[in-house]
Structures are given as C-alpha cells and as structure tokens.
Amino acid sequence: MTTWETVIGLEVHVQQGTRTKMFCGCLSSFGDPPNTNICPTCLGLPGALPVPNAEAIRLAVRGALALGATVHPVSVFARKNYFYPDLPKGYQISQFDRPLATGGSVQFESPARGTVVCSITRLHVEEDAGKSLHDRYPGRTAVDLNRAGTPLAEIVSGPDLRSPAEARAYLVALKQILVYAGVSDCSMEKGTLRVDANLSIRPAGQSALGTKTEIKNMNSFANVERALTAERERQVALLESGGRVEQVTLLFNAATGVVRPTRSKEESHDYRYFPDPDLPPLVLDAAFIDAQRKALPELPDARRARFAEAYGVSAYHAQELTNDRRVADYFEAAVKAGAEPKSVVGWVLGEVMAGYNASGQFKWTPARLAELIAASKDGRVSHQAAKQIFDYVLQAEPGEYTVTGIAAKLGLVQVQDTGALEGWVDEVLSAFPGEVARFRGGEAKLIGFFVGQVMKKSGGKADPKGVTPILQKKLRS
Amino acid sequence: MSGVGAQAEKVEAGKVSAAESARDVADRLKLAEARGLNATLYWSEAMLAAEARRVDALRASGVALPLAGVPIALKDNIVTTDAPTTCGSRILEGYRSPYDATVVSRLRAAGALIAAKTNLDEFAMGSSTEHSAYGRVLHPLDPERVPGGSSGGSAALVGAGVVAAALGSETGGSVRQPASFCGIVGVKPTYGRVSRFGLVAFGSSLDCVSVFGRTVDDAARVLAVIAGQDARDATTVAQLPLELQPVPGSLTGLRIGMPKEYFPADLDAGVRAGVDRAAAALRALGAELVPVSLPHTAYAVPTYYVLAPAEAASNLARFDGARYGVRRVGPAGDLPSLYRATRGAGFGPEVRRRILVGTYVLSAGYYDAYYAKAQQVRNLIAADFSTAFGAGGVDLLLTPTTPTPAFRAGEKTSDPVSMYLADIFVSAVSLAGLPALSLPSGRSDGLPVGVQLVAPAFGEARMLAVAAALEAAMDATGEVR
C-alpha cells in the first residue's frame, strides 16, 4: 500500500491595523452599519483615484521584516481584473510580478518533525473587496462596501508544510510574529486574518508535486486543520480508488466537516494583471526600510530564548509566557518590580492568565503582583491568603489599594508576633499531653499535628513559619 | 465676446457683474443650440445664475480671482456636482457625481463660471465626436464636417465664439486635433501637471485634462489655474506653479526641431503650407529651425491602440449596472446577464470595440506579445523625444497637428483605422507624456489648419510664450495658399 505524503502551502491575508483604508481616507473599522464607511474612491465612482496609505505600507514592511523577508526598494501595484458586485471598480488593486517583499521564513515546532522552518515566498499589499450578503434578502444579494478598500498584506508560504497539524502550528507562529510586530490583530473572528490553503498529496519519496486543490472559508485555526484533514482524506481515497485529483477550489463547511467544490466557472479566471497606471511604482528608500527594521520589537523566538537564559525558566514556560506579547511584557514587568522570576511564572501562568483570558485585561498591575508575591514570601500572608486577595481584587475591583490594606480588610494578615504565637503553642501543648509525650518519645512527625492545632487555635492567622521553631523549642525543653 | 483675461479684468473691476457675464453666455449658448451645433449635453440658466451668485460672494470676500466671471465649458467626462456627467454614453445617462473634479474646484475657486457640459465621443474614444450616444457635433464653420474629437463639443463651442475657453481631455490628441480642426488653440500639459481626480478615466497613463482657448493667452490663463499637484492624484508631480511668461519680442537663440517623420509625401498641401507659414514666422522672429528625426514615430498609433484600450477595458469594468448608471437585467436574471445586458445596451460600438481589443491584449498568452511589447515601444518613442531635446539640442518641436483639415461627417466612421490615423501626429507626444499645443496657422479652402509645438516635460511656460509670439506674427484666419 502506498504511503502518502501531504504537501500544504498557505496563503494568509492579514488586515493591517490602520485607522483608514488602503487607498482613501475612509475608516477601516469592523462592525459598522453597512455602507457607512465609503467615499467616491472606495465606491469606484467615475473619476475617483486611489492614493496609497503610508501607514498600511509601513505596517506591511514591518511584517515583511519580522518574517525575515527582503523588502524591495521598488514594488509595483497591479490591477487584478474580474467582475463581482462587491468589487466596485471591476478590479482589485494588488501587486503581482513585483511584490513588496520576497523570501523570509517562519520557524515553529512540528508535532511530528521537531523544529520546522517554513519558507515565505512573498508578501504583497492589496485592497480588500466588499462583502456580499446572500442571506439578508430572500433571492437577492446585498452588498456592503465598508470593507472595500481596507488594507491587506497577503503572505504566501512555500509548499513546506507536511500535515494539517503543521499548518495549524505554522499559523499560530505566524500570528504571534505579526501580533508582536504590531502589524495586525490577526483575528479570524473579525476577519483580520484569513487563510486559503493549498493541499496536494504524493507517494512518499516522490519529488514531483501532486495536483493541488485550494480550500477556502475556514473561520478558525482548528477548522483549517479539520478542513485540511478532510481534504487529505478525500484525495487519498480518490487516488487509491484509481481516480485523479482535479485542480479545484473547495469550501469547508464547519458544521458538517466536509469540503465541497465551488462552482467550476470560477476556475477559469484570467485576471489580466497589469501595472496600475493610477499608482506610480512604490519606492521605499533604504533608510526607511532600515528604520522599520530597527523599530521592530523582540520577536517571539528571540524572547523565548532570552527568558530561558535570563530568568532560568523552562522551555515550556518560556513558550507559554511568550505566546502573547502582552503576557510576556507583564511577566517581565513583574520581575523588574522585584519579584523572583520562578514565583512570577507560577502566578502569571495560573491566576493572572485566568483573569486575562476571562476579561482581556490585567486587573493586577505587575508592580502590585510583585508586592503580593513578596508578602506571601515573607509570611505576612499565607499562600492561600494571597490567592484570596488576588481573587478579591479581580471581583471587587477596588480603585486604589495596597496588598497589606486588602489583607487587613479581609483579616488575612498572618500573626508573626512571638508572644501571641507562644500563647497559642502553650494552650495546644497543655491540651494534648498524650501527643506531647509521644513526640518526646520519638514520634517526630507529630510536629505537623501540633502546627495544625496551632493554626486552628489561631483561626488560621498564625504564620506557620513562626510557629514551628517555637513548638520545637518548647517540646524539647 | 471678450478673451479670458479681459473678461476677468472687467468683472474684477466691477465694470461687468458675474450675473451679466452669465446672462451673456446663456444668450450665446441659446444661439449655438439654435444653430444645431449639438456641442452641449447640459447647461441651464439656473446653474449659471447660481454660479454667478457664488462668484459674487467670492468677490465680496476680497480674494483675487484670476478667472472672475469667465464662463468655461467642461467636457462631459469631468465630474461636477451641479450637472449630470454622461461621458457621452447611455450607460451613465442621468448620472450625477457627488463630488467635483479637482480641476472644477480650482476653476470655481478662481472665480470661473461653469457654463456647460460639452458633447464628446463616448468615453473620449474617437477623433470626430461622431461616437457620442447623444448625436454628432457640427463643425462651427461647416456643418457637413466634424469638429474633431474626442473633445469636439468643447472645441466647437470655443470655435463658435460661445466661450473663450473650455476644458477637454486628451488621451491621444483629443484636444490638439479638434483645436486644429476648429481653428483654435488647444494645450495639452505634461502628464502629471494637472490632476485627473474627477476626470472619468479612459487610458489612465495617458489621460490629461487639457485646455481650449480662442488665443494662447486664453488657454494659458486657464491652464495656470488648474495646474499643480493634487493630494488626491498620486500621478501628479510636485512642480513650481506654472508662471506665465511675457510674450517675447524676439526668439533669437531658440532652436526648433522639425522632425522629418511628420512630413510625409502625402501630407495635405494646405496643412503643409500652414507649417511653412509658421516656420517662416518663427525664422523671422529669430528662431533657428533644424531638421531632427524621431525614428519610432510610425509605431505611435499601433502602440497607442494597444495600451489605451488595455487600460480602458479595465477602467470601464466599473460600469456594470450594480451601483449607478443604467441597469438592465437580461433574460436569465443572473449576474452574468446583468453584466451582459447593462454593458451591451449601455456602451456604443466604438467603446465595445476598444474593450474587446483591450481585454484581448491583456489576456494570458497574449500579454507579452502585445501589452508588454507596446510598453517597450512606448519607452523607445519617449526616448526619441529625449534625444531630440537632449543631445539634439532643440528647445521645441514644430509639426503639423493633423494630416488633413476637418474631414466630412461619416467619411471615416466605417473604417476605424483611418479614423485612428487622424491622430498620427498627436499620439506619440501623448505616449511620451510631453506638453504640446496646437495653434491655428491659417485656412485651407476656408478650413482651419494648425501647427503643433512640443516641449520637454514641464516646459509649458516657454512653449506658451513662444506660441504667443508666433500667434502674434501670423494671420491665422488668412488662406495659406
């Protein structure tokens, strides 16, 4: 039986996080009432002309540099011609034979192959089309042109991915890089990141590529993996039953998990690309490109390595801490505020992340967290109490507060005063003469029992670190 | 009718009100209509009255108005908010733009009265203004003949003395050629000198808003107002303002090249005599006339008829019936039938022909042989001019504007290629993006003939000054033989 190798390449569109559209001054926002962010240019009215948005170009350059791509000093806008009602000009302004950037790579951990470097073939800038709404009016199609003309960077990978799981891992890594670089928020939900996937299979060991199909309409990374898995299985079944793969475009249905061909008419497009005469070649000088390179933040891979090196955290923890740039920034700020890195890891990956994932924000500043960790460390509050204090702040959202203030308010300050501790110890020792005798007879593990009784007597306020030495002293005397 | 400068001076000085100026031009527009010139597609006394009130308010605010109260007609492919814009096409029947073209805003700010929208070959595709969906325009001197095109309506209005100046547009000679036919001045600026924002696109890499005037001075004053970089047109170029120079008394030291390729054996005798008259006048003014060669001239028309239709096919894709303009749905009721019915009914035969040619030359498998090759030839044509102005050491070129005077209506409509060849002396300049003008040099059997002056890029100021000197030295209404 043939062993099949899967070959996957991804085309990812990300929307740069600009305030305005690619070629006009309309807002580039999401979720506004239909056809409110429009003007003669993005409506394609007669006589209107495009003018490039410098910020959209700058963000695309940053993205390209973050992916290690070569940004070209001259690139050319080209028209991609096709008719569709949500494409107001009858062509999309894109780039074709002279893209903004070529080369580059994304490194990620493959579930099966270890560290994989996936090549990036090209990154080019273009404008988005509007949206056709087929479900708004029965039997008719409505068109919303708010999205028409919003900026996109299209990032094309080489055919370097070997499984649906790798495709997903690549997307996670790519998204991290682009979010770190501040290019885009990369939200599939908002449509600021979209994926078209190409997949082919070939007998293991064969170097020629098989016939590929393209899959569209996936709304999450998980669904990209599901769709590719379904398509791989479809192709394997086809070839093993003696059929052949046709080069088609398929749509994924998330509800059924099935991929289905789109109408085949759309396959024969001849886009008649040619340089857009309304836009001079895009010329970027070396100083600008260099300045963008210098302005790049530390990227996820570098940051992971540094976290492991500088803070002695494990590779796993370094990964977890750096997945989200804001979490990584938070971690570093807490460490800078004086907290011990290993304790911060526990707090950040536990309570802090839980709160952040739930609310999308950090209600504890890194400095306050460092203060809480310090109080727990020096025994002013117990570890248990520290968690209670943390949760209290999440829920009650007090305005101005200090850790000790909240601890006092909740009655969670530990008693460290020797006199008070000795009083509780004396009461416990006199209440349990039998156990005292057994301890003195050699049952050293009973110390835990005595500590527990003191804690109980104190109503949980005794600092266990202070109690033990006093017990030891009195039991031995 | 006063010239542009004199009219503006009278209105600025308060000797004539903008309202009087508006009434006068309305009277002349009525007369032109009565003659059946068919030069206008839209004008109204109400619009003119509103324009006059606007200009009076501007005058009251004390700003200098270089075109105060000067009525100016616009080719109907330049959008305005206060009139429909049809481009001479059924597909835009009734369309009204929600914004003004940059050139219109600049004219208005300079105190001009937007007087009328003028007839044109559909989407500016043609050389006779016979390809308008709204009927042909008559030549102002001979109703049997064409005024040239595609800006024939603007040319006829200026030629008939209705307005002293009008805007047209050029893609491949559509102002210089009708200016020559109608015995008026037509100035095409350097590509990038005047904003295209609001000029409905035909061939975007060639399109230039251009100016007609009764005289060089009329055209120059209007060009100076509309010229300048525009943040809304990325192809406009930052340049110093176009400062008009005084008319030189002598042209001593000026070298003017006469490219031999522009004087074929079969050149019309009257046209040739017109060039001879201009050459003699230039020599008398002290200029030196030298022979030069532009060896790729013969390729200009075929190159133009690959590139301009390619761009046009893409530019006209937006007229699909989905958002504005005429909408027709075919029998199948689906999307392709919307496109077919709307575009089939909305576009005339010349526009359809060019869309087909343009689509063909950009198609997979043909791109390199046609579009890419034509771009290479375009570079060679531009290099011909650079060589003449550079190593050749000439300051300007002198050529005939057209191979013949105005031809008869219907003479070329069944033979597109012979129509295209009417632009043989003007299209190379368009491909090179250079400034040029056509100046009347006399009459041949009563029909105007013109000469063309071509300047290096952004050399408009000197070109206009030399043209004004030449204009003063010639009797442009006299017979040339």
Per-residue confidence (pLDDT) for residue A263, from 0 to 100: 64
Q: Is B174 a catalytic residue?
A: yes
Structural domain includes residue A362: yes
Does residue B341 belong to the interface with chain A, where contact is any CB pair within 8 Å? no
Does B219 score more than 70 pLDDT? yes
Residue of B174, B438, B441, B444 with catalytic role: B174
Stronger pLDDT, A274 or A395, i.e. the higher one: A274
- Decide: helix, strand or coil at residue A40: helix
Which amino acid is residue A358, in one-letter code? A
Q: Say which of A47, A83, A91 has its CB closest to residue B199.
A: A47
A68 and A118 together in one domain: yes
Record: contact B204-A278, CB cut-off 8 A: yes
Record: contact B87-A47, CB cut-off 8 A: no
Structural domain includes residue A46: yes
Does residue A85 belong to the interface with chain B, where contact is any CB pair within 8 Å? yes
Residue in A278, A279, A282 to test binding to B, most B beta-carbons within 10 Å: A278
Question: A-chain residues within 8 Å CB-CB of B198?
Answer: 47-48
Q: Give the number of beta-carbon pairs within 8 Å between A and B.
A: 97
A49 and A171 together in one domain: yes
State pLDDT tens for residues B68-90.
999 999 999 999 999 999 999 99
Q: Say which of B98, B313, B367 has its CB closest to residue A40.
A: B98
Question: A-chain residues within 8 Å CB-CB of B311?
Answer: 274, 277
What does residue A43 show for φ and ψ, rounded to 5 degrees? -85, -10
At B60, list the tokens.
């009251």
How many residues would you count in chain A? 477
User: Sign of torsion, CA B412 B414 B418 B421?
Assistant: positive
Residue of B2, B10, B21, B75 with catalytic role: B75
Considering only residues 120 to 149 of chain A, which have any Cβ-Cβ distance to chain B shorter than 8 Å? 143
Q: Which residue in chain B is spatially nearest to A24 when comparing CA positions?
A: B232
Does B123 score more than 60 pLDDT? yes
Q: Which residue in chain A is spatially nearest to B203 when comparing CA positions?
A: A277
Orientation angle between helical segments A221-240 and A164-180, nearest 10 degrees:
150
Domain boundary among A388, A409, A430: A409
A305 and A284 together in one domain: no
Nearest to A472 by CA among A434, A431, A417, A421: A421
Question: A-chain residues within 8 Å CB-CB of B313?
Answer: 81, 272
State pLDDT tens for residues A106-142.
999 999 999 999 999 999 999 999 999 988 898 888 9
How many residues would you count in chain B? 481
Record: contact B318-A88, CB cut-off 8 A: yes
Does A164 score more than 60 pLDDT? yes
Mean pLDDT of A58-63: 98
Per-residue confidence (pLDDT) for residue A386, from 0 to 100: 87
Record: contact A274-B367, CB cut-off 8 A: yes
Q: What is the pTM of this model?
A: 0.91
B127, B423 contact by CB (below 8 A):
yes
Minimum distance, in Å, between the CA of residue B338 and any CA atom of chain A:
10
Residue in A24, A41, A45, A57 to test binding to B, most B beta-carbons within 10 Å: A45
Q: Say which of A45, A50, A91 has its CB closest to residue B97.
A: A45
Question: A-chain residues within 8 Å CB-CB of B199?
Answer: 47
The bridge status of strand A213-216 relative to strand A249-253 is parallel
Could you tell me which CATH number the domain at B4-226 has?
A: 3.90.1300.10
Structural domain includes residue A255: no
Considering only residues 433 to 462 of chain A, which have any Cβ-Cβ distance to chain B shorter than 8 Å? none
Nearest to B419 by CA among B354, B334, B322, B375: B354
Record: contact A279-B234, CB cut-off 8 A: yes
A59 and A107 together in one domain: yes
Residue of B132, B150, B195, B441 with catalytic role: B150
Q: Say which of A46, A143, A270 has its CB closest to residue B364.
A: A270
State pLDDT tens for residues A387-444.
888 888 888 777 777 888 888 888 777 777 788 888 888 999 989 999 998 988 888 8
A354 and A433 together in one domain: no
Does B17 score more than 60 pLDDT? yes
Nearest to A425 by CA among A474, A477, A464, A461: A474
Question: A-chain residues within 8 Å CB-CB of B231?
Answer: 51
Per-residue confidence (pLDDT) for residue A281, from 0 to 100: 98
Residue in B105, B323, B357, B376 to test binding to A, most A beta-carbons within 10 Å: B323
* DSSP code for A126: E
State pLDDT tens for residues A175-231.
999 999 999 999 998 999 999 999 999 999 999 999 999 999 899 999 999 999 999
Nearest-angstrom CA–CA distance, B176 and B428 = 13
Stronger pLDDT, B215 or A354, i.e. the higher one: B215
Domain ranges of chain B: 4-226
Record: contact A48-B231, CB cut-off 8 A: no
CATH number (domain holding residue A424)? 1.10.10.410
Percentage with pLDDT > 70 across chain A: 99
At A142, list the tokens.
């409505």
Q: Is B412 a catalytic residue?
A: no
Sequence-separated (6 or more) residues with CB below 8 Å from residue B403: B264, B266, B267, B268, B271, B421, B422, B424, B425
With residues binned 3-state (H G I as helix, E B as strand, rest as coil), the percentages for chain B, rounded to 5, are: 40, 15, 45
Class of residue A357 by CB neighbours under 10 A (exposed 0-12, middle 13-18, buried 19+): exposed
Considering only residues 153 to 182 of chain A, which have any Cβ-Cβ distance to chain B shorter than 8 Å? none
Considering only residues 17 to 46 of chain A, which have any Cβ-Cβ distance to chain B shorter than 8 Å? 40, 43-46
Domain boundary among A288, A316, A344: A288
Question: B-chain residues within 8 Å CB-CB of A143?
Answer: 322
Q: Which residue in chain A is spatially nearest to B334 when comparing CA positions?
A: A140
A191 and A336 together in one domain: no
Minimum distance, in Å, between the CA of residue B313 and any CA atom of chain A:
9
Does residue B156 belong to the interface with chain A, where contact is any CB pair within 8 Å? no
State pLDDT tens for residues B234-264.
999 998 889 999 999 999 999 999 999 999 9
Mean pLDDT of B178-190: 98
Structural domain includes residue A210: no
Structural domain includes residue A211: no
A182 and A46 together in one domain: yes
Residue in B232, B236, B329, B334 to test binding to A, most A beta-carbons within 10 Å: B232
Does residue B79 belong to the interface with chain A, where contact is any CB pair within 8 Å? yes
A314 and A426 together in one domain: no
Does residue B232 belong to the interface with chain A, where contact is any CB pair within 8 Å? yes
Record: contact B98-A50, CB cut-off 8 A: no
Q: Pick left, alpha or beta for residue A248 (phi over 0 → left; psi -120 to 50 → alpha; otherwise beta).
A: beta
A122 and A185 together in one domain: yes
What does residue B75 show for φ and ψ, rounded to 5 degrees? -60, 140
Does residue B411 belong to the interface with chain A, where contact is any CB pair within 8 Å? no
Number of separate domains in chain A? 3
A321 and A178 together in one domain: no
- Name the least confident of A256-260, A416-420, B224-228, B358-362: A416-420
Per-residue confidence (pLDDT) for residue A441, from 0 to 100: 87
Residue in A79, A131, A272 to test binding to B, most B beta-carbons within 10 Å: A272
Question: A-chain residues within 8 Å CB-CB of B205?
Answer: 277
User: Which ipTM score applies to this complex?
Assistant: 0.96
Record: contact A280-B235, CB cut-off 8 A: yes
Nearest to A164 by CA among A223, A235, A252, A240: A223
Does residue B200 belong to the interface with chain A, where contact is any CB pair within 8 Å? yes
Mean pLDDT of B390-413: 96
Mean pLDDT of B101-125: 98
Minimum distance, in Å, between the CA of residue A84 and any CA atom of chain B:
8
Per-residue confidence (pLDDT) for residue A268, from 0 to 100: 62
Q: Say which of A46, A51, A85 has its CB closest to residue B97.
A: A46
Averaged confidence pLDDT in chain A: 92
A307 and A181 together in one domain: no
What does residue B193 show for φ and ψ, rounded to 5 degrees? -80, -35
Q: Which band of pLDDT confidence, cut at 50, 70 and 90, is reported for residue B275? A: very high
Record: contact B201-A278, CB cut-off 8 A: yes
Does residue B304 belong to the interface with chain A, where contact is any CB pair within 8 Å? no
- State the residue range of the domain holding A64: 7-204+270-288
User: Sign of torsion, CA A100 B208 B439 B243?
Assistant: negative
CB atoms within 10 A of CB A465: 13
Question: A-chain residues within 8 Å CB-CB of B81?
Answer: none
Q: Which residue in chain A is spatially nearest to B92 when comparing CA positions?
A: A46
Question: A-chain residues within 8 Å CB-CB of B98?
Answer: 40, 45
Per-residue confidence (pLDDT) for residue A12, from 0 to 100: 98
Structural domain includes residue A456: yes
Does residue B311 belong to the interface with chain A, where contact is any CB pair within 8 Å? yes
Per-residue confidence (pLDDT) for residue A129, from 0 to 100: 97
Does A264 score more than 60 pLDDT? no
Q: What is the CA radius of gyration of chain B?
A: 21
